[in-house]
């Protein structure tokens, strides 16, 4: 019965502990990182101590033996994981295990305490040594991946602990049967962990789980958590054996610009493809090299047993392979280059941090000196020119919204518009994907305010963007920090695709309180049904694009009439966009439309490119 209970507890506990470990030290998702790190430390140390103390005061006999075994299991489990924990955490874990050990061998709840006996002290020292030596990668792999070594390891810990206790410890009378039973339960609990590791967690493939934990989830190169342990191991090995060690740090040039222009999906694609090119080069030229993702767009390469002169041709080839590759996102070309810094292990490098700080400085020398270059030991070795073709060229400009009043037009706001350059036709066109992230647009709005002293500006958001609560927070935060801007207009398209209307009314009310107006854009050919009317009464504006469907312009004008009447009845601003000539203007005026927009009031000058 105790074996069954202990095994079921082990199964659930290890499953949760393993998931938590993966979230913290493999995925490293930020946000609740510190809380989760504290949580896993409490699980691996605090709960073990709590069970030990609670059992001390409330249980005795065989049931106490079971609970103390569980406490011991919880204190040993974290040592089955390499890396992650820092030295302070490891010290506290050892301190907790030592406290439990000493508490069982001496104190008011023991009879014939024996903590002063040499055999017991030696047993404690051997136990601590076993826990510490499990952090040596070679020994750790033997324990985790070889069931005979696992059995020997946990049997030793169980025997050293339970086999040296005094006649009565923590209310448990330590007869031979109890000692054997306790050792069997402890060893069984830990062997269940090994079984789960090989089967549930490793999917029957030895090493697969730890290999996955060692890899960055996105790029599939080595993770930062693995780098923390492996870099120190390579560093110490090189120093102790007087072997060379080279390190290269590199990152993607202007990576934030890719994210701001195309979105994070494009950024992720560039990260995957760039690291893949470098990894492929290393696999072909020097398989012993290890590539790690050590930051957002930052990577590190470790070359064991190799000097910087030995690896420089390989590094240059990886650098060349990236900068000469054509990258695309949704058929749009993106220029990608990388900057690199490199150095050797030097005799006065007593800590890995010294070596890493130096290579980090050389990387930033490459960045400061123009990017797309390799700096070795403070000297620029290679530098590349940007290719003739400027990729992913976008141009932003403003188009005025005019109001007809007292027989003249006056500007009421400016709309931020975007065009992309088509290299095949050498023309500026409206991009098919207008999903430019909101942070990039608000940054441009800020620049417009500063340079043109505008007090009303409009930006465009896709329906999916607007429905994201993050967009509402970003807009409110932006307006709360703006004194110059009187009003910000958000033009949202695809209203015929809205399914959750309950979201819009409270959101628009919240935005209106911060002087943000919401306009539904491009309502051409959308029928104004009674059901739609009841949802639109909270809107601030409606915009019809005269040029959206030129072949159906007559139908568009016919459909405009109920929309215009609805807006007039409900005090909603109605705007016609696409006014390009005097005939368009007179048509709009004949319908009584007072808000008008289009190239009739000025055509933007865009750069001439080829």
Query: What pLDDT does 14 receive?
Result: 74
Please compute the mean of the pLDDT values over residues 369-375 and round it to a whole number: 89
Give the pLDDT band of residue 261 (cuts 50, 70, 90): confident
Give the pLDDT band of residue 208 (cuts 50, 70, 90): very low
Query: What mean pLDDT value characterizes the chain?
Result: 82
Query: What pLDDT does 388 receive?
Result: 39
Range in 24-38, 67-81, 267-281, 357-371 the model is least confident about: 24-38
Say if CB 369 and CB 375 are below 8 A apart. Answer: yes
Q: In what order do the strands lie in the sheet with 379-383?
A: 290-293, 298-304, 245-252, 338-344, 373-376, 379-383
Give the pLDDT band of residue 446 (cuts 50, 70, 90): confident
Spatial CB neighbours of 524, under 8 Å, sequence gap ≥ 6: 544, 545, 548, 549, 552, 556, 559
The pairing of beta strand 427-429 with beta strand 408-422: antiparallel
Give the pLDDT band of residue 198 (cuts 50, 70, 90): low
Give the pLDDT band of residue 242 (cuts 50, 70, 90): very high
Burial of 376 (0-12, 13-18, 19+ CB in 10 A): buried
Residue 296, pLDDT > 60, answer: yes
Which position has the higher pLDDT, 86 or 124? Answer: 124
Give the pLDDT band of residue 31 (cuts 50, 70, 90): very low
Query: What pLDDT does 29 receive?
Result: 45
**Element at 184 (helix H, strand E):** helix 176-198
Please compute the mean of the pLDDT values over residues 242-255 and round it to a whole number: 94
Which position has the higher pLDDT, 201 or 261? Answer: 261
Give the pLDDT band of residue 89 (cuts 50, 70, 90): confident
To which residue do tokens 């049967």 refer? Answer: 177
Please compute the mean of the pLDDT values over residues 366-386 and round it to a whole number: 85
Local structure of residue 426 (DSSP, 8 states)? T
Please compute the mean of the pLDDT values over residues 528-551 and round it to a whole number: 79
429 in helix, strand or coil? strand
Residue 365, pLDDT > 80, answer: yes
Residue 324, pLDDT > 50, answer: yes
Q: Alpha-carbon distance 205 to 199, whole Å?
A: 8
What φ, ψ does residue 456 adopt, rounded to 5°? Answer: -140, 130
In the chain, the percentage of residues whose pLDDT exceeds 70 is 85
The per-residue pLDDT for range 119-160, each reduced to its tens digit, is 999 999 999 999 998 888 778 777 877 778 888 999 999 999
The pairing of beta strand 394-405 with beta strand 595-597: antiparallel
Please compute the mean of the pLDDT values over residues 347-365 and round it to a whole number: 93
Query: What pLDDT does 314 receive?
Result: 95
Q: Alpha-carbon distance 8 to 202, whole Å?
A: 19
Other beta carbons within 10 angstroms of residue 285's beta carbon come to 14
463 in helix, strand or coil? helix
Which position has the higher pLDDT, 355 or 445? Answer: 355
Query: What pLDDT does 526 receive?
Result: 81
Range in 437-441, 463-467, 487-491 the model is least confident about: 437-441
- The DSSP-derived string for 57-110 is HH--HHHHHHHHHHHHHHHHGGGGS-SSS-HHHHHHHHHHHHHHHHHHHSSTTE
Query: What pLDDT does 286 receive?
Result: 92
**Element at 445 (helix H, strand E):** helix 438-452
Give the pLDDT band of residue 204 (cuts 50, 70, 90): very low
Residue 278, pLDDT > 70, answer: yes
Query: What pLDDT does 197 receive?
Result: 62
Please compute the mean of the pLDDT values over residues 311-336 and round it to a whole number: 90
- Mark out the alpha helices in 106-175 (DSSP H runs): 118-133, 137-145, 147-162
What is the phi-psi region of residue 583: left when phi exceeds 0, alpha when psi lies from -120 to 50, beta otherwise? alpha
Which position has the higher pLDDT, 126 or 407? Answer: 126
In the chain, the percentage of residues whose pLDDT exceeds 90 is 27
Residue 539, pLDDT > 90, answer: no
What is the phi-psi region of residue 607: left when phi exceeds 0, alpha when psi lies from -120 to 50, beta otherwise? beta
Residue 534, pLDDT > 90, answer: no
Q: Alpha-carbon distance 477 to 497, whole Å?
A: 27
- The DSSP-derived string for 367-389 is HHTTSSEEEETTEEEEE-PPPSS
Please compute the mean of the pLDDT values over residues 373-398 and round it to a whole number: 71
Query: Best-predicted range by mean pLDDT among 23-37, 176-190, 206-220, 337-351?
Result: 337-351
The per-residue pLDDT for range 551-574, each reduced to its tens digit, is 455 666 777 888 889 998 999 999
The per-residue pLDDT for range 44-55, each reduced to its tens digit, is 788 888 888 888
Q: Alpha-carbon distance 482 to 486, whole Å?
A: 9
Give the pLDDT band of residue 517 (cuts 50, 70, 90): very high
Please compute the mean of the pLDDT values over residues 421-446 and round it to a whole number: 68
Query: What pLDDT does 387 receive?
Result: 44
The per-residue pLDDT for range 95-120, each reduced to its tens digit, is 999 999 898 888 878 888 888 899 99
The per-residue pLDDT for range 161-194, each reduced to its tens digit, is 999 999 888 888 888 888 998 899 888 888 877 7
Q: Which two tokens stand for residue 198?
A: 């090989």
Write the CA distances from 173 to 106, 181, 182, 216, 599, integer angstroms: 14, 13, 12, 50, 94
The 3-state secondary structure of 527-570, one letter per residue: CCCHHHHHHHCCCCEEEEECCCCHHHHHHHHHHHHHHHHHHHHC
Say if CB 600 and CB 606 are below 8 A apart. Answer: no
List, in sequence order, every residue forming a beta bridge with 110; answer none if it has no partner. 169
List, in sequence order, every residue forming a beta bridge with 573; answer none if it has no partner. 541
Give the pLDDT band of residue 392 (cuts 50, 70, 90): very low
Q: Alpha-carbon distance 193 to 70, whole Å?
A: 13
Say if CB 339 and CB 371 are below 8 A apart. Answer: yes
Say if CB 115 and CB 106 are below 8 A apart. Answer: yes
Give the pLDDT band of residue 77 (cuts 50, 70, 90): confident
Query: What pLDDT does 344 receive?
Result: 94
């Amino acid at each position: 019965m105790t074996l069954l209970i202990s095994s079921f507890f082990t199964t659930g506990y290890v499953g949760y502990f393993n998931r938590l470990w993966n979230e913290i030290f493999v995925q490293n998702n930020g946000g609740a990182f510190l809380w989760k790190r504290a949580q896993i430390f409490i699980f691996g140390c605090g709960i073990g101590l709590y069970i030990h103390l609670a059992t001390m005061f409330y249980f005795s006999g065989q049931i106490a033996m079971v609970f103390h075994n569980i406490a011991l299991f919880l204190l040993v489990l974290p040592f089955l994981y390499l890396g992650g924990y820092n030295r302070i955490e490891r010290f506290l874990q050892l301190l907790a295990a030592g406290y439990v050990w000493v508490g069982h061998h001496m104190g008011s709840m023991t009879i014939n305490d024996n903590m002063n006996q040499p055999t017991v002290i030696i047993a404690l020292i051997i136990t601590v040594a076993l826990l510490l030596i499990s952090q040596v990668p070679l020994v750790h792999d033997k324990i985790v991946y070889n069931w005979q070594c696992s059995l020997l390891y946990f049997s030793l810990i169980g025997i050293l602990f339970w086999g040296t206790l005094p006649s009565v410890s923590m209310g448990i009378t330590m007869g031979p049967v109890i000692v054997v039973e306790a050792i069997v339960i402890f060893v069984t609990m830990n062997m269940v962990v090994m079984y789960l590791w090989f089967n549930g967690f490793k999917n029957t493939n030895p090493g697969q789980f730890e290999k996955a934990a060692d890899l960055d989830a996105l790029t599939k190169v080595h993770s930062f958590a693995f780098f923390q342990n492996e870099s120190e191991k390579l560093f110490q090995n090189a120093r102790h054996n007087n072997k060379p060690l080279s390190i290269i740090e590199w990152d993607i040039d202007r990576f934030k610009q890719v994210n701001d222009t195309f979105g994070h999906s494009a950024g992720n694609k560039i990260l995957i493809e760039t690291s893949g090119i470098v990894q492929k080069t290393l696999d072909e030229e020097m398989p012993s090299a290890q590539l790690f993702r050590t930051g957002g767009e930052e990577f590190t390469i470790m070359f064991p047993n190799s000097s910087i002169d030995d690896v420089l041709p390989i590094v240059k080839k990886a650098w060349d392979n990236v900068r000469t590759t054509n990258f695309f996102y949704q058929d749009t070309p993106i220029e990608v280059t990388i900057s690199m810094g490199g150095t050797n292990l030097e005799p006065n490098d007593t800590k890995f941090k010294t070596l890493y700080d130096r290579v980090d400085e050389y990387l930033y020398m490459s960045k400061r000196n123009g990017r797309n270059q390799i700096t070795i030991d403070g000297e620029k070795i290679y530098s590349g020119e940007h290719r003739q073709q400027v990729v992913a060229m976008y141009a932003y400009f403003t188009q005025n919204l005019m109001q007809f009043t007292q027989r003249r037009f006056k500007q009421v706001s400016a709309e931020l518009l975007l065009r992309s350059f088509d290299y095949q036709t050498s023309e500026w066109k409206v991009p098919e994907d207008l999903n430019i992230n909101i942070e990039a647009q608000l940054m441009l709005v800020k620049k417009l305010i500063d340079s043109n002293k505008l007090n009303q500006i409009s930006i465009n958001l896709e329906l999916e963007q607007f429905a994201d609560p993050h967009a509402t927070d970003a807009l409110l935060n932006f307006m709360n920090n703006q004194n110059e801007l009187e009003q910000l207009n958000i033009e949202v398209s695809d209203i015929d695709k809205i399914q959750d209307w309950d979201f819009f009314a409270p959101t628009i009310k919240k935005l209106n309180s911060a002087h943000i107006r919401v306009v539904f854009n491009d309502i051409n050919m959308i029928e104004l049904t009674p059901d739609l009317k009841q949802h639109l009464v909270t809107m601030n504006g409606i915009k019809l694009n005269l040029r959206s469907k030129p072949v159906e312009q007559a139908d568009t004008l016919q459909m405009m009439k109920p929309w215009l009447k609805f807006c007039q009845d409900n005090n909603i601003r109605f705007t016609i966009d696409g006014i390009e000539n005097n005939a368009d203007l007179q048509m709009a005026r004949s319908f009584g439309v007072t808000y008008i927009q289009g190239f009739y009031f000025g055509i933007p000058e865009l750069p001439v490119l080829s």
